[in-house]
């Protein structure tokens, strides 16, 4: 049995090693956005390491493993199908303008993209790490509530991504704003679902002693999704590039699905 501090240190090493591996792969591919397709696998690596190092393997540990694996399988398959072969995401290509040559960009991408995401993903997975290490006994009502929230999130992001995929597949929708289905009630229902998944996992981790302290995990992930790589960044980009998006923003909730506002 190892103590919690050592487990967290080992998992930080796992996250950094996985991120550096992806960084090395991005160099010959000239595609930093590879991190987006495989980021979930970093959390899977942390989860499996935590399970292998756990002092016991009871129902709570297996529940956490199942929640993470099902989430990771879905999001990795979706992102690979959407992004593979389509070149580097413009958000990362923009970073190339920050430096003068490719060599400088390689080191910039390591610091600003890969190592930063490794740290955030390690923080996001704190509920899983602590739950694996300290979990004993059968899951209680918090685990049931957390699993229900996780399921709501998984279904929401799956349906939202499907709506978006179908919308983009229609050439007649080029230049238009998706404002039907779940996207009528939220500008980013997929991000809402993603955050429900991780707040649900945090609730499951609250079953263990001091598990509530791992709230820093979903808070850090929420900040990343809302303020850094997701909602606000995408809103600015689309408001600049898509006619009608500003009006869509004015009437539609940014994240939490709500009835559209009247003009």
Give CA–CA dist 18/26, Å, rounded: 12
Would you state the pLDDT for residue 97?
Answer: 67
Give the pLDDT confidence score for residue 258 in this predicted structure: 95
Q: In which residue are the tokens 């756990």 written?
A: 54
> Residue 1: which pLDDT band, with cuts at 50, 70 and 90?
low
Q: Is the pLDDT of residue 84 over 80?
A: no
Choice between 2 and 58, residue whose per-residue pLDDT is larger: 58
Chain-centroid distance of CA 222 in Å reads: 9
Q: Which two tokens stand for residue 255?
A: 């994240």
What pLDDT score does 94 carry? 72
pLDDT in the model for residue 30: 85
Q: Is residue 72 part of a domain?
A: yes
Q: Is 151 inside a domain boundary? A: yes
Q: Return the higher-pLDDT residue of 138 and 180.
A: 180
Summarised one tens digit per residue, pLDDT across range 31-44 is: 888 888 899 999 99
Give a yes or no: residue 245 inside a domain. Answer: yes
Query: What pLDDT does 125 receive?
Result: 96
CA distance to 150, 171, 225, 249, per residue, from 231 (Å): 20, 25, 6, 11
Assigned domain for 123 exists: yes
What's the rounded Cα separation, in Å, for the pair 205 and 217? 11
Per the domain annotation, does 121 fall within a domain? yes
Q: How far apart are CA 155 and CA 166, in angstroms?
A: 17
pLDDT score of 8? 94
* Main-chain phi, psi angles of 261, to 5 degrees: -75, 150
**Rg of the Cα atoms in the chain:** 19
The answer to the question of residue 75 being in a domain is yes
Domain encompassing residue 54: 4-251
Domain count, the chain: 1
């Amino acid at each position: 049995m190892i103590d919690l501090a050592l487990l967290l240190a080992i998992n930080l090493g796992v996250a950094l090693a996985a991120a550096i591996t992806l960084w090395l792969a991005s160099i010959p591919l000239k595609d930093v956005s590879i991190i987006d397709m495989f980021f979930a696998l970093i959390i899977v690596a942390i989860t499996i390491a935590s399970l292998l190092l756990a002092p016991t393997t009871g129902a709570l540990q297996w529940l956490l493993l199942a929640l993470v694996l099902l989430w990771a399988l879905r999001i990795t398959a979706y992102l690979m199908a959407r992004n593979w072969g389509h070149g580097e995401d413009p958000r990362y290509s923009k970073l190339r303008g920050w430096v003068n040559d490719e060599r400088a960009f390689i080191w910039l991408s390591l610091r600003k993209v890969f190592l930063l995401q490794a740290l955030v993903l390690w923080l996001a997975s704190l509920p899983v790490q602590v739950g694996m290490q300290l979990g004993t006994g059968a899951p209680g009502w918090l685990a049931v509530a957390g699993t229900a929230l996780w399921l709501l999130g998984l279904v929401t992001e799956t349906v939202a991504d499907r709506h978006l995929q179908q919308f983009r597949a229609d050439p007649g929708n080029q230049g238009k704003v998706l404002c039907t289905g779940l996207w009528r009630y939220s500008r980013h229902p997929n991000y809402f679902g993603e955050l429900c998944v991780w707040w649900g996992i945090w609730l499951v981790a609250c079953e263990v002693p001091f598990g509530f302290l791992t709230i820093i995990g979903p808070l850090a992930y929420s900040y990343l999704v809302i303020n850094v790589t997701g909602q606000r960044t995408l809103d600015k980009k689309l408001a600049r590039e898509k006619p009608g998006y500003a009006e869509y923003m004015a009437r539609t909730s940014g994240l939490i699905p709500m009835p559209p506002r009247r003009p």
